[in-house]
């Protein structure tokens, strides 16, 4: 029958069968704890639950062992236990968050496991571990120390020998740097009131990089940044305001979009106005391209600005006039 199908139909049929196969496999795995509890495998000629799972579902010994272990671990976490037994979430995803799961965060983790990828769940689990340690921010710095070039050390030592407080000096330099970047952001925000594309302008990228460097902006994360995240959603503001841009690694970028999606779903469920609750988060199959938050074209001269006015009259002259009035 398949030889009568064109390429597109053949692909769609294979994709649909594959999706159903994965779903049914997860559901079979989720049923194993109850089957084992009832000793159902003994009624069908199998000496163990492992033999039963291999015979009727083609599951390996390790897969069965993992699901039974997770089921025991979730005995007092009904939200995660339900996600496991229903087959809604794969065992591989649940295994990534099992070690950080508690009775307090189980519902949050169960919701996250339904929308986030395995990579994002790894990032979430790592963040929870860091929060649980309750260590000082300095302990998050790789190497636990700041390495200074010998010439810089010599200059600081010379100043210290003259009675100058080098800690105060460095602190003042850092404060001045933060003020300068903040002022540049403010000027750039009003000079660029409207954007016609999701692509972040080079000048804005350079300013954000000057503040955060090339790493992820989330405290404690040492991974390289791969995306510029819009904290103020570009779809609503049509604005690349550097005050609301932050570089993120792949995991934290997906986490940020996943949290935003769950907020919008809750808002829609409560009767509030908002986007379609069925929208797929960044990083998932079927999601729009959101890497860098600037991949899809959009926005016109009538795009809305953060202050609610039309962007049609926006421009450099109007931005400068607003700065003068302020």
Domain-terminating residue out of 112, 134, 156: 134
Whether pTM exceeds 0.75: no
Domain-terminating residue out of 103, 119, 134: 134
Q: Would you say residue 126 lies in a domain?
A: yes
Task: Note every long-range contact of 147-153, with CB atoms under 8 Å and residues 24 or more positions apart, other chains counting.
Answer: none
Residues 6+ apart with CB under 8 A from 186: 243
The mean-pLDDT minimum among 21-25, 206-210, 277-281 falls in 277-281
Residue span of the structural domain in which 100 resides: 2-134
- Count of Cβ atoms closer than 10 Å to residue 269 Cβ: 10
The per-residue pLDDT for 261 is 61
130 and 182, same domain (yes or no): no
Q: Would you say residue 16 lies in a domain?
A: yes
**Residue 264: Cβ-neighbour burial (10 angstroms; 0-12, 13-18, 19+):** middle
> Distance between CA 37 and CA 54 in Å, rounded?
17
Q: Would you say residue 125 lies in a domain?
A: yes
CA Rg value for the chain: 26
77 and 202, same domain (yes or no): no
54 and 180, same domain (yes or no): no
Q: Is 123 helix (H, G, I), strand (E, B) or coil?
A: helix
Q: Would you say residue 202 lies in a domain?
A: yes
Q: Could you give the number of structural domains in the chain?
A: 2
pLDDT digits (tens, 9 = 90+) for 65-105: 999 999 999 999 999 999 999 988 999 999 999 999 999 99
226 and 310, same domain (yes or no): yes
pLDDT digits (tens, 9 = 90+) for 238-277: 888 888 899 999 999 998 887 766 555 555 566 554 443 3
198 and 57, same domain (yes or no): no
> Distance between CA 196 and CA 12 in Å, rounded?
35
Q: Would you say residue 287 lies in a domain?
A: yes
Asked whether residue 234 carries a pLDDT value surpassing 60, the answer given is yes
Q: Would you say residue 74 lies in a domain?
A: yes
The model's confidence at residue 48, banded by pLDDT at 50, 70 and 90, is very high
> Distance between CA 47 and CA 50 in Å, rounded?
8
179 and 291, same domain (yes or no): yes
310 and 247, same domain (yes or no): yes
Q: Would you say residue 165 lies in a domain?
A: no
The per-residue pLDDT for 265 is 58
Q: Would you say residue 156 lies in a domain?
A: no
With both helix axes pointing from N to C terminus, report the angle between 7-38 and 61-73 in degrees, rounded to the nearest 10: 60
pLDDT digits (tens, 9 = 90+) for 109-161: 999 999 899 999 999 999 998 887 765 554 444 545 788 899 999 999 999 99
pLDDT digits (tens, 9 = 90+) for 275-315: 433 333 444 444 434 444 543 323 333 333 333 343 433 44
The model's confidence at residue 164, banded by pLDDT at 50, 70 and 90, is very high
318 and 193, same domain (yes or no): yes
Domain-terminating residue out of 83, 107, 134: 134
């Amino acid at each position: 029958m398949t030889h009568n199908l064109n390429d597109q139909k053949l692909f769609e049929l294979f994709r649909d069968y594959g999706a159903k196969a994965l779903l049914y496999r997860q559901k079979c795995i989720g049923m194993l704890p109850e089957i084992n509890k009832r000793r159902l495998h003994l009624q069908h000629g199998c000496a163990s639950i492992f033999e039963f799972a291999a015979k009727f579902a083609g599951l390996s010994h390790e897969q069965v062992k993992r699901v039974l272990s997770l089921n025991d671990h979730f005995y007092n976490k009904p939200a995660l236990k339900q996600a496991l037994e229903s087959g809604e979430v794969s065992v591989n995803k649940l295994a990534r968050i099992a070690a950080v799961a508690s009775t307090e965060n189980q519902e949050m983790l169960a919701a996250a496991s339904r929308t986030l990828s395995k990579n994002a769940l790894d990032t979430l689990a790592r963040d929870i571990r860091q929060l649980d340690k309750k260590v000082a921010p300095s302990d998050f710095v790789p190497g636990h120390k700041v390495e200074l070039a010998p010439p810089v050390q010599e200059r600081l030592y010379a100043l210290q020998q003259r009675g100058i407080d080098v800690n105060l000096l460095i602190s003042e330099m850092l404060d001045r740097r933060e003020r300068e970047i903040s002022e540049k952001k403010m000027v750039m925000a009003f000079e660029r009131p409207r954007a016609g594309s999701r692509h972040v302008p080079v000048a804005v990228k350079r300013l954000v990089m000057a503040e955060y460097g090339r790493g992820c902006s989330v405290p404690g994360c040492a991974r390289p940044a791969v995306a510029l995240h819009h904290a103020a959603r570009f779809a609503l503001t049509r604005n690349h305001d550097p005050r609301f841009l932050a570089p993120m690694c792949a995991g934290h970028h997906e986490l940020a979009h996943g949290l935003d999606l769950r907020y919008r779903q809750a808002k829609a469920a409560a009767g509030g106005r908002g986007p379609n609750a069925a929208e797929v988060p960044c990083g998932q199959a079927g999601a729009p391209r959101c890497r860098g938050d600037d991949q899809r074209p959009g926005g016109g001269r009538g795009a809305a600005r953060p202050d609610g006015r039309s962007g049609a009259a926006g421009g450099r002259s109007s931005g400068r006039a607003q700065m003068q009035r302020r």
